[in-house]
Structures are given as structure tokens and as C-alpha cells.
Structure 1
């Protein structure tokens, strides 16, 4: 290849070809021989038997395509015979995904792959290649080479180019003759010669910058299929992989979406099922899975089956997880030349997908092809039952009509809801018997007590001092009476005896107060008021309430019901109580009285109180004051009335005049 304007020459090696292609980037597409030299470069680059550059032109012979450049020992008739039927099938796929591949045969009966590559900066232009069947193992790599040079600038000239001269390059002989030299791709340059396989490192290292460039290229694609193909094809080229597969995870199962350099594949084939099984295995792991597995690591059977079935030397799969969320996708990379991706490269791959995956998910959500298919499937079957038009409207109408018919004639049990509380009339207050301070408090609200149990003790130190003083006075007045009796001073004897009796009365009162300092339970019951932490050390006056006790027997329910529902409650209506502490236990009850005076409770409005008796014996865990929800049976009512009566009542109040 020479610069445009000069006769093309045979390219002896890969490095010279790379330089010639780079020179094309600096030249103008309008230069003579530009597209011929590009076709010749593509032919050598992709080891093709022939290469053509075509542009759509309606009304031109050859199925609407005009030949702008070629590198083939064939004429227009040979082109029409080889591509006439293939081109119209390949062109839409190449325009959508960037490339398309179809297997075929030459007029001599030799197998070939016909490849169409979309030229990025040329209007409705394609590069057409015929790649021999013997290159099947390298087909992915050869297609990617063509796509990497498909962005050469410029547009195809408007006027037909002069009849191009074929490049003097050797054509492969029928039956497997000589072929153009192999030109594998390495990262860091558009094309470069590949070192001998013996010099390959055991691990392929990927530069993060190359992967980020690949992600940016994929994010320029407007369609999901083209974007994922760009990613897997580029990753296969950068990693030197034989196969790269990408799949979406739906309901914990991965469906293969894209396989490198396959624009179409059979989702039910054995190969795809093995790939999907290998991708599935990675969903349960954060770390990449490898086969062969490292020493001591578990073996993953799906990766093992895929490797053995396709003859890969190494397979790696990883889930594309974002944080703690379930992995939305998975990736598989397989090598056939002994290489593998190291941990650092896999981390770079994950970083690339962290950047590209939100964009891919957005494309997938916008396309929503599976939702349209599901809608059409449902509409087709419903139309057979409901008619050919307005399927969804008729379906909704029939459903509403059936429900309206049911609501008109069917009845449900209707219950009035309210708030209830366990209450008892058997209560007793335990108060302070004298002024003082609480020295000891032994119980708190909710404690069970028995008759005679000490609930609390008042401080008696001052009373003990008064007791001592009273006893001392009794002894002193007794001595004075004895002294007066000895001197026959009978008047003094009477005075001393009277004072002694006063001291004894004072002593009796003090002893009684000391005895009453211990507050005791008057009956078996539960403490409903009084807290140990609040009473301990608190000063009290005579008559102040210390504790409130209630008996468990004689419990009943006090319920509040909204004003709008009170007319629905009949005398002796039954219902159930579910306490907050045990909502799983339903306690049966029966209405015994309705208090006919409403009480206003803030935003709840007017509430009526209902007294209900319990229809079962009290349980040991019941306590007075426990609250819960009450449902009172209001009989069977029409379904339509149950669903609409509150709305109708409100409208009546709003529209009344």
C-alpha cells in the first residue's frame, strides 16, 4: 500500500500495513485510490480472499449498491454472484450492530464466511470480506480487526470512482492455497504484529485506560445489542480471549445476551446453555471463579464442563455486582492459548463495567422488548374471547361487571371497630397513715400481691424516739406516785397516776402508728398504680395515695366506638377483643350496656362508650388496664353497602341543604 494517488503495492509485513493504514487516516477519501487501498488493507488485515467497499445507491446495478473500492481478482459479475443475495440480508444487521456474519460457499464449492462491516464515518457504506473457512478459529479476532479500522474518516465520493486496479497480491488457491500473513492485534496500537506464541506470558494484563476507552466507545452506541457487542468484542481483543460472553440476570438465572463476534446465536443451543450455566455459578460469589481452579479452591462443575466441551485452556467468570445489591449481570472470559487474566486485570474489568453497566441497564429499560411481547401475547388470547377490538377495555369492563354483580347480591359479616380496655370495679387505695417519709417501697405497677403482703414501709425513726420518751415518762410518773404514796401525799399520788396514764396513752398511739407504718395488701390482686422508683424516699402526708390495687376477678371491657357506627350495634351483640400484649389470642365478649353520652376525643371526634362482659374466665396473664382492639358483630351486610356506605354518608352531609 502506498499513499493515495499512487498505484497500490503488495504489503510485505504487518508493520508496513499498520503504517499504510495510519497514512490513510491522514489522507482524504476523495484522493484517487483511497478506497482501493483501504480494501487492500482490510484484505491483508483480515486474511480475506477478497475485500470490497460499497455504498448504497438506488437504481444502480448490483442490488442498489455501488462499488467504491475493491481488492479482489473478480469483476462486477463475480461480485453480483457472490453478494447479490447475501448483501440485503447482511446490511440491516451490520447497520444495527456494526457487523454481520453469514457462512456461505464460493462458486468453486469452498466454504467461506461473508462478513459485512459498517463504516462509521461513511454514509450507508459497508466493507465486505470473504474469509476462508480455515480461519474459523480466528474469526472473532479478524472481525474485530476490521471494526477497529472501520472509523477511517470521510464520506464516499458522490460520483462513481474509476474502475479500480486490483492490487497485485497473491490470491489463495482453491482448496487451501497461500493466505495473507497473520496480523493479530495487541493493545496499545491499532494493529501490530503478535509475538510468537511461545513468548506469551501466562497471564494477560489489561490496562485500565484501554478498558475505559472501550467503555466510552460502547456508551456511544444507541442500541443495547451494539453496545454489549462492542464491549465483549473489544475485551476479547484486548485480553486475547477465544470467547467472551455477557449475560443478564433475571430472577436469579442468567440469560446470555451477547457472545463475542456472534451477532446472532441460538439461545437454546447446547453451547449457549453451557455458557449460561457457567455464568450462573458466578452469581453466588463476589470473587471471580476460575477453571483450572487455584490450589485448594473448590471446583466449579459448569466451568469445568464448558472448558472440556470447547477445548479451552482456561475459563473465568465473574458477577458484575454493585454494592450489596443482587448482581444484574455476569461476564465470562475463555482462553484457548494457555493465557488467563490476572486478578488486577479482572479488577480493571470490573471497574469498566461499573462505569458502563448503569448505561447498559438504562438502554435495556428503554427498549423493553420483552414487555411488548408479553403484552401482545396476552392481547392475542384475550381477543379470542372478547372480540377483535378494545381488548383491555372490554376485559376491564367484564371484570368490573362481574364484581358489581357479586357486590349487589352477596353479603359479608360486618364488624364495628373500636378501642377497648380491661377494667375492674374491685379496687382499693393504700395511703399513708401519718406524715413522714417512705423508707421502703417493695412493689411497682403490674406486680401480683397477696393479702397481707407488705407493699411499703414509712420511716419510723422519729416514732421510735417518741416511744422511748413515752416509756421514760411512764417510769418517771410511776416513781413520783410511789414517792407521794410513801409520804401519804394522796393528792400528789393522784396527779402522778393521771400523768402516768397520759404517757401510757401516748405510748399506745405511737405503737399503733409504728404498726401502721407497714402498708399491706388488703386482698389478693395486682398493683395498678404506684412505682417503687418514685416512692422510695419521697415525703408524704397523712392520707396521700401510695398504691392502688385491683382484683383480677370481676374484669369487664370498656370500649369506645365512633359516633357514626353506634346505630349499628344491637343489644347483646357479640364480638372479640385482641389485647396489644397478645394479639394472637381473641377473647370473646358480649355488649352489656351502651352509655348514651358521647365523649369528644380530639381529632377522633365524638366517641360513645360501651360496656361489655367477658365470655370466658380470666387468664392469669390478664391485668386491669390492658388495652387492645375490639370488633363488634353488626350482622351480615350487602357487599356494596360495606364498600360505599361511609362515602355515601359523607356525600350526604356535604350535599345536604
Structure 2
């Protein structure tokens, strides 16, 4: 069947096909022209074709719609519509036939994506002829694939060019550190890139737009009429929340009065204003002006929108960074207030309500205010046992930490020297007594008085030594605990009279020493109650009563602490002098907010007073 057909070189018109079809097929202006030319050429090369349709659409997603019919004035038959629907669903070549016609639909698949299909309706054919028809149609689809590839390549090239232009302009805006130079450089580059006579940018401030930069003009204050006209045109686009173009296309049903005034007063034939959004609000806009017969095409508008969308964010960031600190604080406060009182932002509103309720509660609620301080436990009485005379340690049966009873011997001193001294004075007393008796026998009154005095002196020395011998044993004055002193490692060592050997404290009477910070001392009074928790007994709390405030301070870690004495109301056999912990003194009822903030407030008052 195909061998009977002439080659393209044999006939330029292919059995009477107009030469214009090949021109439309090679250089189509749109998809419909290409589809009509392709169907006409394909049907001219296949005998017996009574109808054809080309269906195209966005890849895979659709919708797939007819773009060309053959013959052109004839719609697709019911058989063609049915076979096209089945082919689109199955994405496979589909063949249907009835008594009078046969229909073949072949999908157009490029890179695995369905772009549409071509369906032909012919007179009934044999199986071999139908296979030849399928091959012929498959070969012809290569032309459609080539056209789709050219279309995709053109779109990709346009996208790349648009992206490069956008990136170049963004780089131009980011080169400058400050807002004003960056805005001027950007609008000047935009005017050059888009062949515009003038490009302006303005940001919305309060209720109107302020023009910040005009291309090819470093000084914009000298042209106040032009600046006001541009600002009004940008306001017109912002108020209508839409892009505005002049001359207005038929589809643009918007007000362009200010744009027309700008064009009339300053000689611009084509205007384009593109507003931009930062955050949730329209923050400003760009105005593009051209003179002469150079209207903005759809491609120009899309590229302008892309550039404005990116560059406006760069300019907004630089503008915000260039503001004074007061202006930044004002804008931040305004934005937060708008979010708090405006629509949406329910989480922020809920958090603010909870915060207000918490502040209200803690401003009204009160509790007992306590002052904490480091605490140390001491015995209420502390008896010091000293050496009664100069001597040497003979024995030591107790040491620090031992619990003792009254009369318990803690240590003994060596008594040999005292005993020898006692015997010496006893011998002297006996000798003086004999001298006294001899003087009495001789009636020598002078000698009697001398001997009597010497006897009395010797007996006094003997009484002194006897008293010292009685004190050679160091005994406990009461039941208690040895707080300090250990002579067990110094047996035989010499001690001086009055030297401290032991310190003993009772176990049934204690006092607590609290180190209160100087910032809290003003609230402490005698008779106040508190609680004590010791490090060694963390599960037990002991009641306290303040006894005395001493004007003695100690410095530690750069802070001053006052010494406060308190008594323990409940005595336990587990308590020992020297234990440390934390004490809390109840001052009275105070507001919770005052308890948490008074130290900060006091510090601020002192700091402000010292600065002023």
C-alpha cells in the first residue's frame, strides 16, 4: 500500500496538497495551525480517511481538548470520540470498528508523559492494511514529538533567560549595603533591561506611598510634581490590589485615572505598575514607563512580576535595617499590636489572655514570704576545759565527737612532779614544826613567830599542790558531746596552764546561726518563727524562733551577711553541733508579684539613684 504512494521528492504538493500546508507545518504560529497542517498532510498521504482529530493538553493532568479536525469544518464523529476517550484512559493505541467505519487512536507520549492523541476514521480495512495504517500514523507522530520538543525547548530557554535576568537584578540590589543606593541601582538597571524611559519604586508609609528612587536620577526632591504623580499611580495600584497597565487591555476592568494623569503630564505612552507584598500587607510598588509605540507584552509583564517579587524583599530588608532604633521599636510594637487585635493569630491572642490572667492573679494573690539563709547548728552552751597547770599528758580516753556523761574522765596529766613537790613541802613543814617547838622551849619569841610563819607557808603550799593534784584528771562538767579536742595522739606532750584541751557542748540545748543577706535583714525581727532543714536530715524540719540579731557581718563571694541567732524548738537525739543546712524565716503575708520582683525593683532603684 505504501509502495504505491509517491515520495515527497516526486511531488511537492502530495496529491494536490497545497504548499502552504508544509509552510504551516514547518513554521507554525500556534498549536491550532500546526495541528490543522499536520492532519491535512497526514490524511492526504493515507487513502480512505474520512475524518481525523488531534487532541492535546497539559502533560498527564489535562484537560485534553481538540485542537484540530479534518476536514476542518466537520466535527468528530461518535466513533472518533469514543476511541479517543478509550485511548486517553488506557494510554495505549486503540482500535474500534463498526459495519461502515474503523477508528484508530494513537496516544502522543513524550518522555513517559501523555500529551494527547491523534485519532483517524477510515473505511473498513484488512488486518494487514490496518497494521500499515498504524505504522504510517506512528511515523507521522514523530513530527508532533519534534514540535512538542521545540515548544518545550523554547519555554525552557525563556525560563532560563528570565531566571538569569532576575538573578542579575537581585545581585544588583544586594551589591549596595544601604537602602537608598541599592534602590537607585536597582531601578536604573530595570530601566536599562526593560528599555524603559523611567522606572520608580515607592514604599507605603501610613496612608500614602513615598517614592524612594527614580532611575537615572540621584536627586528626586527637585521634581516634586513627577514624584507626586508616581506616588499617586502606585497608590492607585495598591488600593485596587492589582497590577495596572496603560493602555489598559480589554480584560482590565480597573480604575487608571492617576496612571492616565501621569502619562498625560509627563509624556509616557505605556505604563505598568506592579505592587509587591511583604509579610501580610502590600508594602509598595514599581512603576515602569515607556514612550512611543512600545507597549508592554505579556512576557514583559511576567518577567517584571518575577523581578519585583524577589527584589522587593531585598529592598524591604535593607530599608528596615536603615531605620533608626526608635522607628524599629515603633514598627515592631505596631506589628505586634495589629497581630494581637487583628484577625487570625489565635495562639498569640490566647497566650496574651493567659498572660493577663496570670498577672492579675499574681497581683492579687498573696502568701507567706520567707527569707532563706545558710544555717549552722551550735550548742547553746560551750564549756572550755583547760590545763590546770604546766605539765604533761598522761592519758586521754575521749576525743572530739564522743558522747559523754557528767564526771567522765576525758584525760589525765602526769602527777609525779606535783607529788614530789608535795612531799618536799611536807618535809619542810615538819622541819619548821620542830624549829617552832625548840623556840617555844627556849622562850624565844622572835624565833617562835618566824617558825610559825614558815609552818603556815609550807602547809599553804601543800594545800595548793593537793588542789592541783585533784585537778590532774580532766572530767566532763555535764552530759554532752566533745566538740573539739583530741589528746590521744599527743600522749606525753607538754601543756601550758590555761591551754584549751577540750570543748564540751550539751545535747539537749542548741542554737542556730543564720547568715542573712544584707538585702533581707530589714525584714528580720526578734521573735519571728521559721523552719530549719539540715543537710544530714533532709526529711525532717525543725521549728525556729529568732532570738538575737547581731551587728556582725561577714563577707563572702562579694556579698555581706548578718549573723542572726535562733533557738531550735524541737530537739532530736540525731542533732549534733556543727551540722549545716538551710533556714527559712517567715516575714509575713506579701503579694506574689512583690515576692518575685522586689529584689529586681530594689536593684533598679539603687542603680538609678547611683547613676543620677
Shared fold, TM over 0.5: no
Between structure 1 and structure 2, the one with the greater Rg is 2
Length-normalised TM-score, structure 1: 0.36
Length-normalised TM-score, structure 2: 0.39
